[in-house]
Structure 1
Amino acid sequence: MTADEIRAYLEPRRHEFADPRSLVMPALKYAQTTRGHLSREDLDAVAEATGFTPSFVESVASFYDRLYTQPVGNRVVSVCITLSCMLRGSDEVWDHLCEKEGIDHHHGGTSADGRITIQEAQCLGYCDKAPCIQVDADETLGPFTPDSAAALVDELRAAPDPEEYWR
């Protein structure tokens, strides 16, 4: 994705945003549609197109769970790791899913076949159903045990890939 392509995308939308910083998020979402994640070149193109520094653009991209700076699987499973979920067993859920998918449990990642990404999430607002999981940033479910979470991932693996919202 080039800075010119991003500028062309943003131009008809500029009037929607009073603060120019607000253009960075739609620019990042648009840039991500090419590969499903944001490359270094994409981040630099967004910076050039919006007039912000690459470090500012990267800070925005790294803050939001649905903006990916590394390739992700066809399905993204986010395990809440904050206090309510941790006290109710999210660490066991996390470890079990990572082990099942052959993913480093220290950092999360994507399964070898590229189908499933397991990532940590900060509070998903489902504390009453802890530990919870969010699927593709669209649906939050809970509570889970390690086995029920593994069954969910098996269902996701068997299902057809969803229509990609951010790709």
Structure 2
Amino acid sequence: MTDEQYALAESFWTRKDENEKKLDADTLYSWIDEFLLSHKVLALATATKDFIRCTPLEYSWYTGALWIFTEGGLKFKALKENKRIAAAVFETGASFGGLKSLQIEGTAELVGLFSDEYKNAAEFRKIPMEALKKLEEPMWLLKIIPIEITCLNSDFKKDGFGSRQIWKRCHQ
């Protein structure tokens, strides 16, 4: 590909979005909330300058964050240097023209072992604290805070909206 072809391909959605009708922020967030609650697996991408990892993980969605209990792994190699993440949640049986997915950009926080936040997440997941404390190696807890979520939902078009909508966290 030439530089011009890369630029054209890169700008596809930006150009398409210019003329598309947008959902209001509350309606969009409600759809995101329902979508994340109805799924439980995401692909989490972490990276450094010269290392990339994409890991399928089970998550819980509550309090505006994604909570992931994990034994560890190479994702922590990247998280040690770079707390910025990307994640994808999507329908697995989608057909052409029937896509529903989320692309999430955000930050990862490592929750302190057995802290109140850790205990609350375990309770939400119905994981007994006694079981977590008895593990030979710790079960780490990642808290993913979304900063921007790109939604793709072909059904939005039925109501006159663009199929791609972007939600951004308001910074206070």
Structure 1 or 2: more helix by fraction: 1
Q: TM-score, normalised by structure 2?
A: 0.24
Q: TM-score, normalised by structure 1?
A: 0.24
Structure 1 or 2: more strand by fraction: 2
